[in-house]
Chains A and B, each alone.
Chain A
Amino acid sequence: MAVTIGMIVASWICIMLYTMLYGDNFVSRTAEHIFMGVIAAYELVINLEFFYNKGVARAFSPGGAIYIIPVILGIMIYARLNAKTRWLYRYPMAVIVGAVFGVTIRTTVFSQILDQIKGNLPPIAPLVGVPAGQLINNLIIIFGSLAAVVFFIFSQEFKGPERYVHRFGRLVLLCGFGATYGNTLSYRYELMAGTFISNLFQPPEILPYTFGFAIAIAIILVIGFKTGLAHWE
């Protein structure tokens, strides 16, 4: 596969950003600022396009007059940039916050409370007519989840026998967070392997550019630090 200028630039950007692992330096800062400029503009363009197509254009199309309301509210958001007009910003934010809370809590009750309680009851977690292994598992899930909820009661100090419930909840939560950490570890290495494959080492024809640039950057950084032109931060 032929190597394009874009592939070379992608490889070099990655190398420049990886130099931050050895200490903040002018190479990584430059790459970070270039990256930030591109991503900020990208998100802005995509969202402004959405705002225009679904708001502005619709407001001036037949039957869409009501959509002038979010257009005006959307412009009011920018009032926050000036101290004197900052109060106008609260109105569009109120609509956003109200809508977010409304759609979230009405379904949270079902999916995150009631359905989870159902998960502790038959037929999902039966205690009768199941093999011994499944019975033990179901008991651990039931008591473990209750103990985990008890752990989050911070307004009361647990003394006496109930402190064992608190302790058991803590151990169950730690086990769950350990599982999360184990998955997160493999996820982080997957990110790195993916970056290497996508940008640094594939196609094989890009290897001379990758290693050549890495050596050049290393030399520049060493010379920079030895001569005092650059500093470890």
Chain B
Amino acid sequence: MTIPLFIVSVLTVWMTVEYFFPFLAPLEPASHTVQTFATILASAAWGLGTAVLCIAHVRRIYTQSKDPFWGYSVFFLATFFIMFLSGLIQGTQGSIFLWLYNYIQAPGDQALYSTTAFYVTTAGYRVFRFRNLDATVLLISGMFVMWSVLPLFTGPFPVLVTIAKWINNVPSVAAYRGFVMGVALGIIGLALRVILHKHREVLA
């Protein structure tokens, strides 16, 4: 673990310092090359997650007596291999590859993501209450901002746009400014902990 953590520290400090000090400019091409390496490694890392997923599903089929839902893994692996092989053989512009993207992946993505609309509706009915000042502020600002982007409300009541614009441009900016500064300080603190080898979990 020592050498990998050392690599993390050196790269982080190097890339940060060379950005601020012009005398380190001759090292910039090397720094950029390392960033390009990280880009290529990021694409390789996708395969790891997919491999783990496939292994889990194969294991589920292999030990089918222990898992009553093993049959679904057959669907997963079948569609996975059809898509994978069509991409490998025909390429990413191939007809089968694009057909599966356009008529299974894209609508599936849209449908799954849109189910959250049903859950926020239920949450609004069950959870949004004028219990105290905090909840009231949250609810009122949320409702005004929501109304301001819906023509059914802004058509007859254009003043909603003005009120929501004030909420978005004044208290919301103040909130996010503080939030973003806090997050930025947190990121810098985390980076310092990683550089000083106090946070080893980044390398699992």
Direct contact of A and B (CB under 8 A): yes
A-side residues, CB < 8 A to B, are: 6-7, 9-11, 13-14, 17-18, 20-21, 29-51, 54-55, 66-67, 69-71, 73-75, 77-78, 80-81, 89-109, 112-113, 116-117, 119-120, 137, 140-149, 151-152, 169-186, 188-189, 191-192, 194-195, 198-199
Q: With an 8 A cutoff between CB atoms, is B110 at the interface?
A: yes
A71–B16 Cα gap in the complex (Å)?
25
Residues in B70-119 with C-beta less than 8 Å from chain A: 72-73, 75-84, 87-88, 92, 97, 99-118
List 5 tightest A-B contacts by C-beta distance, closest first. A148-B178, A176-B175, A102-B15, A98-B11, A144-B174
Q: B65 at the A/B interface (Cβ < 8 Å)? A: no
Does B40 lie within 8 Å of A55, measured CB to CB?
A: yes
CA distance A39 to B16 in the complex (A): 36
Kindly state the separation between the CA atoms of A148 and B40 in the bound complex, as whole angstroms.
39
6 A-B Cβ contacts within 8 A?
A: A44-B46, A78-B47, A137-B166, A152-B179, A176-B179, A181-B145
Q: A20-B115, A38-B79 are in contact. List 16 more A-B contacts (CB 8 A).
A: A10-B102, A10-B103, A21-B115, A30-B72, A30-B75, A40-B80, A55-B40, A102-B31, A104-B191, A107-B19, A117-B181, A178-B145, A182-B141, A184-B120, A185-B124, A192-B114
Query: A46–B94 Cα gap in the complex (Å)?
Result: 13
Q: How distant is A119 from chain B, measured CB to nearest CB, in Å?
A: 6
Measured between beta carbons, the chain B residues less than 8 angstroms from A43 are: 46, 50
Shortest Cβ distance from residue B16 to the other chain A in the assembled complex, whole angstroms: 5
Contact A194 B184 (CB under 8 A): no
A174 to B133, CA, bound (A): 10
B64 CB-CB contact with A under 8 Å: no
Asked if residues B104 and A10 are in contact (CB atoms below 8 Å), the reply is yes
* Alpha-carbon distance between A90 and B72 when the two chains are bound, in angstroms: 34
Main secondary structure of the interface of A (DSSP, over half): helix
Alpha-carbon separation in the docked complex, A233 to B170 (Å): 46
User: CB of B53 within 8 A of chain A?
Assistant: yes
Size class of the B contact interface (CB-based, 8 Å): 35 or more
Q: How far is the CA of A94 from the CA of B1 in the complex (A)?
A: 10
Q: In B33-71, which residues have CB < 8 Å from any A CB? A: 33-48, 50-55, 69
Q: Collect the chain A residues with CB atoms within 8 Å of residue B195's CB.
A: 101
Residue among A39, A106, A116 making CB contact with B15, cutoff 8 Å: A106
A9 touches B103 (CB 8 A): yes
B24 at the interface (CB under 8 A from A): no
Assuming the contacts A35-B105, A41-B83, A42-B87, asked whether A173 and B188 have C-beta atoms less than 8 A apart, the reply is no
Closest to B112 in A: A17
Say yes or no: A37 contacts B83, CB within 8 Å: yes
Give the CA-CA distance A105 to B195 in the complex, in Å. 12
B12 adjacent to A98 (CB under 8 Å): yes
In the complex, the answer to whether A109 meets B188 with C-beta atoms within 8 Å is yes
Are A191 and B116 in contact, with the CB atoms below 8 A? yes
Given contacts A54-B39, A175-B175, A176-B175, contact A112 B183 (CB under 8 A): yes
Instruction: List the B residue with the shortest CB-CB distance to A7.
Output: B103
Please measure, in the bound complex, the distance between the C-alpha atom of A212 and the C-alpha atom of B77, giving whole angstroms: 29
Would A31 and B108 count as touching, CB distance under 8 A?
yes
Residue contact A186 to B150, C-beta cutoff 8 Å: yes
Contact between A147 and B79, CB atoms less than 8 A apart: no
Q: Please, which residue of chain B has its CB at the minimum distance from the CB of A43?
A: B46
Are A95 and B134 closer than 8 Å at their CB atoms?
no
Residues of B within 8 A of A142 (CB): 174
Residues in chain A near residue B4, CB distance under 8 A: 90-91, 93-94
One digit per residue, 1 when the CB lies within 8 angstroms of any chain A CB and 0 when it does not, for chain B 147-188 equals 111100000000000001011111111111111111111011
Distance (whole angstroms) from the CB of B114 to the closest CB of chain A: 4
